[in-house]
Structure 1
């Protein structure tokens, strides 16, 4: 990243107070279904999503983060995750952050911090994000230790399972309920297109990005949900 995580966290905090409200129009729903240790999810959260806070698009957006991804329930009723128990822990911590700090600018700052550590392969130090963001650790730790975080994850599982069409991979991005599929990196364009009010200045001159999937010799930027792709691939981890 060109900017330091501390600088971006400060910018996000400033936008809690300074982001202008767009004139008229209904807010656009932007939903991100993701899992904490999928590298493409962390990249999207760290490198793409912050743009809507810095350019003011957040003023016309209701951002909904759903940290469950490609997890599943074991026969004993416990949750397992595609990238192991560390991912289950971080999914639950991020669910607790969303519950503890419902204001999107606040919980996104904390989740951004964790996902930046994921990108740096330092995610075992996730508790440092309390100090970096200045947030009290008690609500999140209490949520996790009490088991309430597990209840939240079951709610997110139900929400993920209810997707129509079912999610094929993560990150799975929807604008007003419509999945963007492999074009998710152009989410700003779809937000502006969906907004029925006076478009903010951030919508001017947006350039469509070529999907990584369409570029030769590029790894597909997804973590696949094997249970949806094919029954023969069940149990295979990416």
Structure 2
């Protein structure tokens, strides 16, 4: 009943977008591009979250992403590959997000100072996303916010509308107190340790680790067809979504080098 009600919500939400949505209602949640065109992103997120309960009987595919917030390649991977794949396959995959990337840190009088590849704004957004992850803890709650930030035009000023859309119970003040305080500094230091401990060491971002492993083959496949990779690597009964191959190729050289 809950899923049916959500589909009805999707239908009526899309009905107001017919001038840009030329897809039939049954297809509105079939891909993230169509959901965006029909302006039913939030409704599709809710629909899939109820359609695809976690299957705890089989080990989920573990996908770790080490990234930096203003790297164009990282943003493309999150928006075009990782988030849509998780949206449709969340019952067979776990995602870990580590915002830090090619940053560097140094200890100055007992406090960590960070230098980021794309400047201070990137350090700022990295910390915003890290604090959102820390406070919400559950991927289902924070991933839509990370996606909302990463697909936005101005990442530094989009926290408030993204929280309002996806997690209104988390206040901007709570996040910003973390960003500007000792907690955010500690979280980013922890992310630095995680990133610097990668084996093999990361050479660029986005750096994708699948089931604890990174190699060129896994990286290239993840960048070009993550959905198919997760379906192929899952050892349990494949969900219905896996019956349809999904490929959103990204350029092999579209990375931000360390």
- Which bracket does the TM-score occupy, shorter chain normalised? 0.7 to 0.9
Query: Which residue of 2 is the match for residue 18 of structure 1?
Result: 51
Measure, in 1, the Cα distance between the counterparts of 2:250 and 2:162: 32
Kept in 2: contact 1:168–1:224 (CA 8 A): yes
Query: Which residue of 1 is the match for residue 180 of structure 2?
Result: 145
Query: Which residue of 2 is the match for residue 91 of structure 1?
Result: 126
Greater C-alpha Rg = 2
Query: Which residue of 2 is the match for residue 228 of structure 1?
Result: none
Kept in 2: contact 1:29–1:63 (CA 8 A): yes
Aligned with residue 102 of structure 2, among 60, 70, 76 = 70
Query: Which residue of 2 is the match for residue 107 of structure 1?
Result: 142
Residue aligned with 1:63, SS: strand
**TM-score of the superposed pair, with normalisation by structure 2:** 0.75
Kept in 1: contact 2:227–2:246 (CA 8 A): no
Residue aligned with 1:165, SS: coil
Residue aligned with 1:78, SS: strand
Q: Is the aligned partner of 1:159 residue 2:199?
A: no
Query: Which residue of 1 is the match for residue 237 of structure 2?
Result: 198
Matches within 5 A, 1:31-70: 31-55=64-88, 57-70=89-102
Distance 1:150 1:195, change over 3 A: same
How far has the Cα of 1:4 moved from its partner? 5.4
Kept in 2: contact 1:33–1:67 (CA 8 A): yes
- C-alpha RMSD of the superposition: 2.3
Measure, in 2, the Cα distance between the counterparts of 1:153 and 1:5: 37
**TM-score of the superposed pair, with normalisation by structure 1:** 0.81
Query: Which residue of 2 is the match for residue 224 of structure 1?
Result: 257
Measure, in 1, the Cα distance between the counterparts of 2:92 and 2:149: 25
Measure, in 2, the Cα distance between the counterparts of 1:24 and 1:148: 36
Residue aligned with 1:31, SS: strand
Distance 1:17 1:50, change over 3 A: same
Kept in 1: contact 2:81–2:227 (CA 8 A): no
Measure, in 1, the Cα distance between the counterparts of 2:96 and 2:203: 19
* Stretch moving more, 64-73 or 122-131: 122-131
Alignment: residue pair count: 215
Measure, in 1, the Cα distance between the counterparts of 2:143 and 2:38: 13
How far has the Cα of 1:5 moved from its partner? 9.9
Aligned with residue 157 of structure 2, among 116, 125, 128 = 125
Measure, in 2, the Cα distance between the counterparts of 1:152 and 1:23: 29
Q: Is the aligned partner of 1:189 residue 2:228?
A: yes
Distance 1:148 1:124, change over 3 A: same
Q: Deviations over 1:144-203 (max 9, x none)?
A: 232211111111111111111111111111110122223322222222222221111222
